[in-house]
Amino acid sequence: MKKVEAIIKPEKFDEIKEALNHLDIKGMTIMQVLGFGNQKGQKKFYRGTEISLNLLPKIKIEIVINDNLVDEIVSVIAKTGKTGNIGDGKIFVSTIDNAVRIRTGESGDLAL
């Protein structure tokens, strides 16, 4: 089992969700998050006082899937989410030890 975490531009979310819907994924969790990357936010003014918007709003998608789907999902997100500009986001992949479906008590791949 693998977990794919993708931090994306909020305006790209619908497009990515649609693209993922066509794949055989069993669920996804999304979060509104704040963060910064290499650019370290932007500088703006509020009432004439400089304000560093260190943290910009992003959306984080979490998907846990079977190992064989990982490459496809990652490439779909990377392709759909790309604008070519700074701030497009990042994708992280990690290994998951176990999963449990609370309703039935099933575990492992069956729980996905």
Partner 1 sequence: MKKKFKGLRLVFLISILMMVFAGVAMAAGADPTGASYATSTGQETISDVAVAASKAQYSANFVWVMITGFMVFFFQCGFAMVETGFCRAKNAAHTMTMNFMVFLVGAIGYFLVGFALQFGGSGGAAGLGTGGSVLNGMLSIPGLGGILGYKGFFLQSGGTYDAGIYALFFFQMVFMDTTVTIPTGSMAERVKYSAVVISSFFVSMFYYPLFGNWMWGGGWMSTLGKNFGIGHGAVDFAGSAVVHTMGGMMALAGAIVIGPRIGKFRKDGTARAFPGHDIPMAIIGTIVLFFCWFSFNAGSTLNAGDFRLAVVATNTMIAGAIGGLAAMFYMWAKFGKPDPSMTANGALAGLVAITAPCAFVNAISSFIIGLISGILVCISVSFVENKLKIDDPVGAISVHCVNGSWGVLALGLFADGSYGDGINGVAGGVKGLFFGDAGQFLAQLICFGVLIVWGFGVSYIWFKFLDKVHGLRVNPEVELEGLDLDEMGAYAYPDFLVVKSELDSFSPDNAEVKQSNKVKVSV
Among 21, 38, 39, 49, binds partner 1 (CB under 8 A): 49
- Looking at the Cβ atoms of 50 and 97, the one nearer to partner 1 is 50
Which of 44, 101 has the CB closer to partner 1?
44
Is residue 11 at the binding interface for partner 1, with CB under 8 A as the rule?
no
Closest CB to partner 1 among residues 46, 68? 46
> Where does this chain touch partner 1 (CB under 8 A) — which range of 40-48, 58-66, 76-84, 95-103?
40-48
Residue 23 engages partner 1 in binding (rule: CB under 8 A):
no
- Does position 22 interact with partner 1 (CB under 8 A)? The reply is no
3-state helix/strand/coil string of the chain:
CEEEEEEECHHHHHHHHHHHHCCCCCCCEEEEEEECCCCCCEEEEECCEEEEECCEEEEEEEEEECHHHHHHHHHHHHHHCCCCCCCCEEEEEEECCCCECCCCCCEHHHHC
What is the Cα gyration radius of the chain? 17
Q: Is 44 in the site for partner 1 (CB under 8 A)?
A: yes
Binding site for partner 1 (CB under 8 A): 34, 44-51, 54
